[in-house]
Structure 1
Amino acid sequence: MNFDLSEDEEMLKALAERFVTDHYDHDSRRAFLAEPTGFSAANWALLGELGLIAAPFPEDMGGLDLDATGIATVFEALGRGLVVEPLAEAAVLAGRIFAAAAPQELRDAWADALVSGEKRLALAHAEARGRGGLPWIETRAVQSGDGWTLRGAKPYCAAGAGADGYIVSARLEGEPGDAAGVALFLVTADAPGLTAREWHMADGSVAVTLQLDGVAVPANCRLEGDGFAHVASAQVMATLARCAEALGIMERMFADTIDYLRTRTQFGAPLGSFQAIQHRMVAQYAVIEQSRALLNLALVSWQSDDFANAVHGVRAFIAPACVELGHEMIQFHGGMGVTDELAVGGGHKRLLVLSRWPEDPLAALDRYAGVLH
């Protein structure tokens, strides 16, 4: 099996790595997280100029329609740089849902601004009583004249701060746990009746809680097709992106710890010379290699019936493994490891979020086992 990257994939990897090199260090990352949206608006505009925002979008919207290998390549590089801009949530998840389901009039109105980064969408789907990957939508959409009226709450809208619009799932009929009867709507951030309360996730990113009190949505802002199906399909690629990002973060934390163990001395010898520490580092190196092997298995399954299942398998392994690796790397750094003074602390916080969002890793394991669909 040939795992060499194509010319286009090498170019995208180089773009992502150059972006990290030119714009990221530990202090600048902390400054980006402190901004109101939890990331740098200037960096987001630059990602648009570089074409990295457009890349996951289909070609008819001006994107590159990246395949699985392209997505994984870009996000692993961004993970190594501990990049905070929400490409996975905005472009791979919300963007691809919009591209797949938006009616043509709405597509034409938003396409150019989305692929350039001028505008940004966020998915508002998860609800408070949703558990274990099972469908649960209480938010309701009622037909009103030529449009729709939405009522409900979306407490977990990741990367929602400063978004220009939200893709909101709402139930047209049935009970909250029914798999059918759910549609998606594009709700602009300035829609009357929509309120957004910002809050920080564990990694410092800014999510929002949306309250929809009689929000009027025009008929052409209802997305086409089955809401759950569109979200599930886009989540597969977003999950792949998150897993690749987690792998990049694991590699970065491991490399930083290797450097630390080679230079930090105790009892007159480098910490890395102690056999017990070497054994623990070798165990985590094996975890990284296992993660990469599972990611590669998913990549070679692209466009096959096994692809989604392979992605669920990657997440089921990486989600708990990356947190355990973070714990080990922090322990080797001692008390400094949990502070914001070192990249290892910030990396671990990001891994905590990736391991639990948008669902518990046990749900991915259930999907891999065929218990959930």
Structure 2
Amino acid sequence: MNFDLNEDEEMLKALAERFVTDIYDFENRRSFLAATNGYSQDNWQLLSELGLIGAVFDEADGGLSLDATGIATVFEALGRGLVVEPLIDNIVLAGRLFAATADTVLRESWLADVVSGERRIALAHSENHSRAGRLWVETAARTNGSATRLSGSKNCVPAGAGADGYIVSGRTSGAPDAAEGIALYFVPADATGLRREAWRMADGSSAVSLALDNVEVRPEHHLAGGWAAVEQAEDLANLARAAEALGIMERIFAETLDYLKTREQFGVKLGSFQALQHRMATQYSVLEQCRGLLNLAQISYGTDSFSSNVKGLRAFISPASVTLGQETIQMHGGMGITDELLIGHAHRRLLLLSRWPDTPSVALERYAATR
């Protein structure tokens, strides 16, 4: 197996690391997260200029056709910086899904701006009864002649605040938990009958709830692929989420190790206590297992086993990342949960990544179903 990066991947990794080094100190991150839409618009523009937004798209669409290795490399680097710009939800997930499912007319009017970062698109799929990430779509898509109208609600659209458009899942037939009968529609943010309510998620990032009241969808805004297209897009997005989680885990592990080497208690360094050494050794082994599963998913990209390997990766790293976060907080003591220390912010991000778009138990069920 060859894990060497190609020239484009090396360049993007260096750009991501430089972006973090130059911009993302802890106080800056807090100010970015507190912004209206949960990120810095200036940073978003810079990411576009660096090519980190467009890179995930196909070369024919103006990108670099990054594969799983390139995406994992970039998002692991961004994860170490706890970058808050919503690249996964708006670009890897919704952006690529839009590029794969939009017809020629819609692509010509929107795709170039999405690739450049001028416009943002978010996936609106989760509903009130889709507990723990299970499939559930009640939003009704009713067609009369050439007109389709959407009515229903989407309770959680990550990175949906300030988005210019939404990919909305609607049901044309079947039971709410059936994969068949789900269609995808593109709804501009200014569509008549669409209401948005912004709110903050557990890690401080921004999301919206959508209410659709007889929203008309033009024929050219019908997207192809249905639920299968969403699942395919989610596989690559979940790989990126796992890479981000691994980057965060490595960051807080390193900071905790430094803390144990320097912090004194009872007249000695905390790191001299054998019990803490063993606990850190355990977490190091977990980190290596996570990296091994990430590597396995990367090398299987483009094969039939990729989806299964990503599900297995997610099923393992979700609980593992939360446990590591809890351990690093406990080793820092009471200050580990304060807003003034990075550890607590990192743990909140890991909590969210571990439970979105599904919980660890559901992720394990989905992995088991592929075996």
Task: Give the TM-score category using the shorter length.
Answer: over 0.9
Aligned to 2:354: 355
Matched, 1:297 2:296: yes
Aligned to 1:11: 11
Deviations 1:31-88 (A, max 9, x none): 0110010010110111111111111111121111210000100000000000000101
Instruction: Give me the identity figure in percent.
Output: 62
Amino acid at match of 1:285: Y
Aligned to 2:327: 328
Amino acid at match of 1:229: A
Matched, 1:24 2:42: no
Deviations 1:232-277 (A, max 9, x none): 0000000000000000000000011111111111122111111111
- TM-fit CA distance, 1:181: 1.1
Deviations 1:313-345 (A, max 9, x none): 110000000000000000111111111211111
Deviations 1:268-296 (A, max 9, x none): 21111111111111111111001001111
CA distance in 2, matches of 1:264, 1:348: 21
Aligned to 1:276: 275
Aligned to 1:77: 77
CA distance in 2, matches of 1:147, 1:107: 20
Amino acid at match of 2:4: D
Mapping of residues 192-341 of structure 1, within 5 Å: 192-225=192-225, 227-341=226-340
CA distance in 2, matches of 1:265, 1:177: 55
Q: TM-score, normalised by structure 1?
A: 0.97
Amino acid at match of 1:300: I
CA contact (8 A) 2:43 2:85 kept: yes
Aligned to 2:59: 59
Matched, 1:342 2:341: yes
Aligned residues: 371
Deviations 1:65-113 (A, max 9, x none): 2100001000000000000001010110001110110001100111111
CA contact (8 A) 2:261 2:269 kept: yes
Q: Find the residue that maps to 2:5 and give its secondary structure.
A: coil
Matched, 1:370 2:369: yes
CA distance in 2, matches of 1:131, 1:197: 20
CA distance in 2, matches of 1:249, 1:154: 29
- TM-fit CA distance, 1:135: 2.5
- TM-fit CA distance, 1:131: 3.3
CA distance in 2, matches of 1:48, 1:7: 19
Amino acid at match of 2:288: E
Aligned to 1:126: 126
Amino acid at match of 1:160: G
CA distance in 1, matches of 2:85, 2:338: 21
Q: Find the residue that maps to 2:56 and give its secondary structure.
A: coil
Amino acid at match of 1:308: S
- TM-fit CA distance, 1:145: 4.7
- TM-fit CA distance, 1:179: 1.4
Q: Find the residue that maps to 2:279 and give its secondary structure.
A: helix
CA contact (8 A) 2:57 2:65 kept: yes
Aligned to 2:180: 180
CA distance in 2, matches of 1:340, 1:251: 20
Q: TM-score, normalised by structure 2?
A: 0.98
Q: Find the residue that maps to 1:135 and give its secondary structure.
A: coil
Amino acid at match of 2:270: L
CA distance in 2, matches of 1:43, 1:79: 15
Structure 2: runs of 5+ lacking an equivalent: none
CA distance in 2, matches of 1:179, 1:22: 45
- TM-fit CA distance, 1:217: 1.4
CA distance in 2, matches of 1:179, 1:299: 27
Matched, 1:167 2:163: no
Amino acid at match of 2:251: R
Structure 1: runs of 5+ lacking an equivalent: none
CA contact (8 A) 2:249 2:287 kept: yes
Q: Find the residue that maps to 2:143 and give its secondary structure.
A: strand
Q: Find the residue that maps to 2:95 and give its secondary structure.
A: helix
CA distance in 1, matches of 2:164, 2:59: 23
Which portions of structure 1, spanning 4 or more consecutive aligned residues, are displaced by more than 6 angstroms? Answer: none
CA distance in 2, matches of 1:356, 1:121: 22
CA contact (8 A) 2:245 2:350 kept: yes
CA distance in 2, matches of 1:146, 1:306: 39
CA distance in 2, matches of 1:115, 1:46: 14
